[in-house]
Structure 1
Amino acid sequence: MTGKKTAALMMSLAMIFSSGFGSMSFALDDTLCGYGQGREVNDENCPVGALMFNEQFYKYGAYAVTDGDKIVLTFDQGYENGFTAPILDTLREKNVKAVFFLTGDYAKRNPELVKRMISEGHIIGNHGMAHASLPKLSDEGIKEEIMSLHEYVKQEYGYEMKYFRPPCGEYSEKALAAVHDCGYTTLVWSFAYCDWNVDDQPEENESLDRVSSAAHSGAIYLLHSVSETNCHILPRVIDNIRAAGFEFGLPEV
């Protein structure tokens, strides 16, 4: 290579790195993906899709299954529908701790419930200030979506969050890396079902069987606190899962 070509190449590389791409983030895939654990399970009843997600994205601190053997109950808190308090009553009665993923609107509108979650030993997680799909945001937009809620909760509640759940389950490799850069661990799930539609709640006995039978070591359950069905079946779900030989705990990742 001639001296002129070498100089030109070095200048081009210098321009690339001075443009803010020195972190190599330009190489990360920004394709929007919708997470789902799938129906196929292994011999231990763990969804294969959840294990594949872990294998692919653990390097960005993103998990669909925890490293422990306990069941992690998580609730997404987009808005309040009157069932969070009785859910908290059940968790207290059954001595179970859970993770509650808050949106900015929820954190601002429901201070007493948020304070109760914290005081009773539950984890508060970050579900995005505006519940925005991260892959649709710029790098700065992702940081703002996460850290504006982080700072609000820290200031208003004296609590520093460390777990993030992607709104709508939408992610990309680039977005997961950005979440990790914000100091967060991403938790998706290894069990979820259609419990979120308040106008079409699932039948209770069928839901009880479905939720109870999904238990496996390291499971992360996604439930919605707006669900009347979840509120009613939760005591029996906890009893059934314990009777199957499992216990509940907080994330071990």
Structure 2
Amino acid sequence: MKSDQLLTRRRALLAGAGALGAAGTAGVFAAVTGSEPESPALAPAPGPRARRPLKSSAYRLQPLTGYGPRHPAPARTMVRHAPLLRVSGRGRTMVLTFDDGPDPRYTPRILDVLAEHDVRAMFFVCGETADDHRDLVSRMADEGHVVGNHTWSHPLLTQLTRAAIRDQMERTSHVIEEAYGERPQWFRAPYGAWNRATFQIGAELGMEPLAWTVDTLDWTRPGTRKIAGRVEKGAAPGVVVLSHDAGGDRSQSVNALRAYLPDLLKAGYHVTVPRRQLT
């Protein structure tokens, strides 16, 4: 008789421990997901004494070893077969882009002109120069400009292996993320030389390929008037303008910007940065 009573008590204790374990599991589920368990047996009883929802922890939850990535993967991006050339937007929208920087001599002057007219632009930076002048990349972020990936050392990507192309892009994205505050969503191949590998690797890193519609050829230093004239002649809705803020003497590029930007704004153009959805 006593052995039967002991067996009955042990079964009751085991049942109670199982219920407590289930309730504990339900509490963890509620803390992680922010919701209460769906099973009626585990839900709190109705009434004034019902358990209040747990407040989210001040500590960031880390994945268990072997479960999930340690760092969030880049957003999935379509693998394109050609770079984007134009932007979509309402009205007379244009985008100004500057390659090869930042340069401590010319980039601040270009930023000053843009700030004077309250205009945002895109800067496709090279990783090795961005690494040396992170303060300028931070200023771009503070003033609302978009920073894109222009590789680490400006090589001809079509002559590199896939591993070398990835290294050029990844190192640059890392510097941009540290100085700008987020990973770049755009990339531009040096010399406009694209191939299948550049599109695939760029997409894997969460970046869209952006080329240009109007090339100012400012790197040839044709003169301030000629640079400004090319922009004003090529101005049209959706146009992307290519200029440079580094890679040589860019004083003509700065002076041309001072000349054509007020004219574009007076003509009713909305000079801004693009969203991810382009045509």
Q: TM-score, normalised by structure 1?
A: 0.70
Among 175, 200, 214, the residue aligned to 1:152: 175
Q: SS at the partner of 2:206?
A: coil
Q: Is the 1:81–1:225 contact (alpha carbons within 8 Å) kept by the matching residues of 2?
A: no
- More divergent stretch after superposition (234-243 vs 85-94): 234-243
Corresponding letter in the other structure for 1:95:
D
Report 1:71-150 matches (<5 A).
71-78=94-101, 80=103, 82-150=105-173
Among 220, 223, 231, the residue aligned to 2:254: 231
Corresponding letter in the other structure for 1:132:
P
Segments of structure 2 that go 5 or more residues without pairing to the other structure are 1-77
Tell me how far apart the structure 1 counterparts of residues 257 and 213 of structure 2 sit (CA, whole Å): 18
Report 1:194-213 matches (<5 A).
194-197=217-220, 201-213=221-233
Residues 77 and 175 of structure 1, relative CA distance in 2, 3 Å threshold: closer
Q: Is the 1:100–1:122 contact (alpha carbons within 8 Å) kept by the matching residues of 2?
A: yes
Q: Which residue number corresponds to residue 5 of structure 2?
A: none
Q: TM-score, normalised by structure 2?
A: 0.64
Corresponding letter in the other structure for 1:62:
P
Q: Which residue number corresponds to residue 217 of structure 1?
A: 237
Tell me how far apart the structure 2 counterparts of residues 151 and 248 of structure 1 sit (CA, whole Å): 28
- More divergent stretch after superposition (135-144 vs 214-223): 135-144
Q: Which residue number corresponds to residue 88 of structure 2?
A: 67
- Compute the displacement of 1:64 (Å): 1.0
Report 1:8-87 matches (<5 A).
59-60=80-81, 62-68=83-89, 69-78=92-101, 80=103, 82-87=105-110
Q: Deviations over 1:75-97 (max 9, x none)?
A: 00246261211111110010110
Corresponding letter in the other structure for 2:233:
S
RMSD over aligned Cα atoms: 2.1
- More divergent stretch after superposition (141-150 vs 76-85): 76-85
Tell me how far apart the structure 1 counterparts of residues 106 and 224 of structure 2 sit (CA, whole Å): 15
Segments of structure 1 that go 5 or more residues without pairing to the other structure are 1-56
